[in-house]
Structures are given as C-alpha cells and as structure tokens.
Amino acid sequence: MLLLVASLGGCSDFNWFHKDDTTPDEPADRLYNEGLYLLNVRHDPSKAVAKFEEVDRQHPYSEWARKSLIMSAFAYYSAGSYTECVTAAKRYLTLHPGSPDAAYAQYLIAVSYFDQIPDVTRDQSDTNKALAAFEEVIHKFPNSEYARTAKQKIAVARDQLAGKEMQIGRYYLNHKDYTGAINRFKVVVTKYQTTREVEEALERLTEAYMALGIISEAQTAAAVLGHNFPDSTWYKHAYRLVKSGGVEPKEDTGSWISKAFKGLGLG
C-alpha cells in the first residue's frame, strides 16, 4: 500500500500532497481601476499598461477587456511609446470597429505619427502616415469630437510636406537645375495650394522660368501670385523680376499654373 501511494504521488495527474498555487483571477473592475489610478494619480503609464493588459489576459471577452485595450493605447501614448500605441489602437479597431471609442483609437494612431514628425530636412514618412490617419478620422468619423482637431492637424502636416518640397526645390534652384526646381514647386502649386508655402512657390517658379527663358510661364506665375496674394512680399519680388525682363505679369489661361488655381476657384 505504501508503495502504491508513493507511486501515485509521483504522477503529474495527482497532486494530493501539494497545495494548489494557481493565482486566482482578480476582478476585472479592480484591475481596471488600479490601472486608472496608476495612470491618472501616480502618473506611471508603464505600470498602468501592465494592469490594463492583465484585464485582457484574465478576462479576454469582457467589456472591461475592451475598455482596457483602449486605455492601454492611451497609456502607451502618454509614455511616448508611439509604436506600441499604434499597435494597441489598431488591434482595438480590428476587434471593436463599431464601438464608441473607435474614433478615439483612430485618432491615437494619427497623433502618434504626428508627434514624430521631424523637421523638413529629414524623411517625411511619419508626416505622410499622420496625414493619412487623420484623413481616416474625418472620413470614418466625421461627426466625432476628433474630426475638428484632425482637420487642424492635417493643415499642419500639409504645410510640412509642402515645406519639404520647397526645401528640395530651393536646392535645385541654387544649383541651377531649373527643371528639377520647377518640378518640386509644381507639386506645391498643384497639391498644396492652401498651405503657406504656395506664395514662395509661385515666386520661385517665376525665377526658374525667367532663367530658362520661358517668359510666358514666368509672367503667369507672377500674375497668379499677384491676383491671389496682392500684398505678398513674394509678389513684389516676382513683379520686379519680370519687369527686369522687360515684361509685365500677365496670365496665360492655358498655363498649368492658371489651371491649377482655377480648379480651386482661385485666380
């Protein structure tokens, strides 16, 4: 009999003489509220994330798990962990696309990219990602409280992208690569007309076309600039430039410059 008991005690299927040390699940609401306390009172987003993720682990199909997932994304954002925030927010949208917090999840994705926008001398991949993500906010959640802020940040992102084109265009212009410069300034005029960079772009086009001897396009660039921004310092430069060539600003309605602005109701 003693041998039999010893034999059974050695089998993994029997645990007669050992205490069950499995940690019982904690209530979901307690874990969630502990996460909120760590985030809002202790200002410790990293520990808060651990609590929110524990809700998802212990209570994966509960409403608390859904709420904890969006709070995990926010906690990651608060900690400056943008990659993790995007991952959590995207997971939330995959699992809960129609929930009340879906708009906020999309907004968190967008601001995570937005907060990583570098200066115009560097690669603008994150700027493009931010722009696309904010456009998703407006497209999918036009009536949400985040749509208005998204529009404001889109304007900033577009200014940044236009600024990048201008930076490259100026480089080409300074190195007398006038065709390369025109191509960059053309992007600003056709794609980013509503940004603050468009006035300079039109003046720089005037410079490049005058340098190439394409006078009619230079006149058109100056004329469109003067019509839309008559008080601009850039227009004064463009006006003096075409006058130095013995001509006046004059719009050719067949020019791509004129058509680009007519398409927006400008010019």
Judge whether residue 110 has pLDDT over 70: yes
State which amino acid sits at residue 164: K
Give pTM, 2 decimals. Answer: 0.84
* Section 8-35 average pLDDT: 64
Contact 77, 108 (CB under 8 A): yes
Mean pLDDT of the chain: 91
pLDDT number for residue 111: 98
User: 23 pLDDT band (50/70/90 cuts)?
Assistant: low
Q: What does the pLDDT look like over 123-159, one tens digit per residue?
A: 999 999 999 999 999 999 999 999 999 999 999 999 9
pLDDT number for residue 24: 56
pLDDT number for residue 263: 57
Q: What does the pLDDT look like over 76-92, one tens digit per residue?
A: 999 999 999 999 999 99
Judge whether residue 2 has pLDDT over 70: no
Judge whether residue 233 has pLDDT over 80: yes
